[in-house]
């Protein structure tokens, strides 16, 4: 009886030990998958980047600078000059009162952090929005910008000259938000823009061999595109990118020569 009792106890302890080890290994694998996800996914998720491989070919850049039909994120249309962007009133004052644009082409408001510009050394200007939570706050906080009914966590705007010596124009709007909002964001785009140009399921794999499938919804017109991706920088965020084709192509070439980060 004693031997049987010890055998039962030992078996139960061994099963518990294995369960703990298995759970820890599964958790570690999940964490490792997420941490290693971005490096692989960046090559798939980028709409116009060096080495970007979307299964739907990107429309060729338009030669003429007619951007009146370019897509717009709220009041900010692709092709807008940097000076006009800075003068455009911020549209969501009710949510983030007093918010203004800050750009990395000069001194910024105290506390405004603009560190997401991998192409700064080739002349790309990054802008985002900031506001003070109260009049006595000496530092500013990032301001949101509604996208349909959701408020993404990051909203970055990038500018580059269409030719040497020209004023920079808005060529990329890069937005990321909580991944659980992806489906309702796609639904909002369908309501506003109609059916997308393409909807793709893009397979990807991280450095640990874990497989993922990303949903990529794309809109094209004669001079620009919008790319919505279920996954952004990690598995918990979605991403929306507005791209002005002609300037995106110009930045891509400059980045290739200057060895800057892909778009």
Q: What is the pLDDT along the chain (263 residues), one digit of tens a residue?
A: 444 444 443 444 444 344 333 333 332 333 333 333 333 333 333 333 422 333 334 444 455 577 899 999 999 999 999 999 999 999 999 999 999 999 998 776 656 777 778 899 899 999 999 998 887 777 888 899 999 888 888 899 999 999 999 999 999 999 999 999 999 999 999 999 999 999 999 987 767 788 889 999 999 999 999 999 998 888 889 999 999 999 999 998 888 885 555 55
The two structure tokens encoding residue 172 = 């990329």
The two structure tokens encoding residue 25 = 């290994």
> 81, exposed or middle or buried, with CB in 10 Å at 0-12, 13-18, 19+?
middle
112/198 Cα distance (integer angstroms) = 37
Q: Which residue has tokens 């078996």?
A: 11
H helix or E strand, kind and range, residue 208: none
Share of the chain above pLDDT 70, in %: 71
> 234, exposed or middle or buried, with CB in 10 Å at 0-12, 13-18, 19+?
middle
The two structure tokens encoding residue 132 = 């003070």
153/157 Cα distance (integer angstroms) = 14
> Domain limits of the chain?
37-258
């Amino acid at each position: 009886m004693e031997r049987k009792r010890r055998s039962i106890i030992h078996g139960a302890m061994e099963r518990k030990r294995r369960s703990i080890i298995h759970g820890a290994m599964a958790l570690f694998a999940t964490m490792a998958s997420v941490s290693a996800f971005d490096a692989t996914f960046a090559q798939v998720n980028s709409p116009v980047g060096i080495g970007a491989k979307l299964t739907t070919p990107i429309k060729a850049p338009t030669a003429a600078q007619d951007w009146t039909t370019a897509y717009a994120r709220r009041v900010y249309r692709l092709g807008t000059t940097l000076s006009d962007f800075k003068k455009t009133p911020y549209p969501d004052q009710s949510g983030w009162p007093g918010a203004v644009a800050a750009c990395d082409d000069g001194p910024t408001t105290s506390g405004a952090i603009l560190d997401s510009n991998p192409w700064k050394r080739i002349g790309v200007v990054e802008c985002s929005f900031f506001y003070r939570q109260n009049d006595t706050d000496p530092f500013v906080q990032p301001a949101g910008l509604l996208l349909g009914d959701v408020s993404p966590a990051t909203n970055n705007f990038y500018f580059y000259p269409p030719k040497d010596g020209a004023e920079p124009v808005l060529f990329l709007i890069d937005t990321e938000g909580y991944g659980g909002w992806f489906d309702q964001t796609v639904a909002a785009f369908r309501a506003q823009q109609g059916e997308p140009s393409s909807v793709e399921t893009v397979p990807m794999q991280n450095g640990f061999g874990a497989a993922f499938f990303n949903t990529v919804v794309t809109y094209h017109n004669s001079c620009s595109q919008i790319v919505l991706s279920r996954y952004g920088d990690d598995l918990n965020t979605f991403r929306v990118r507005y791209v002005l084709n002609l300037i995106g192509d110009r930045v891509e070439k400059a980045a290739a020569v200057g060895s800057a980060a892909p778009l």
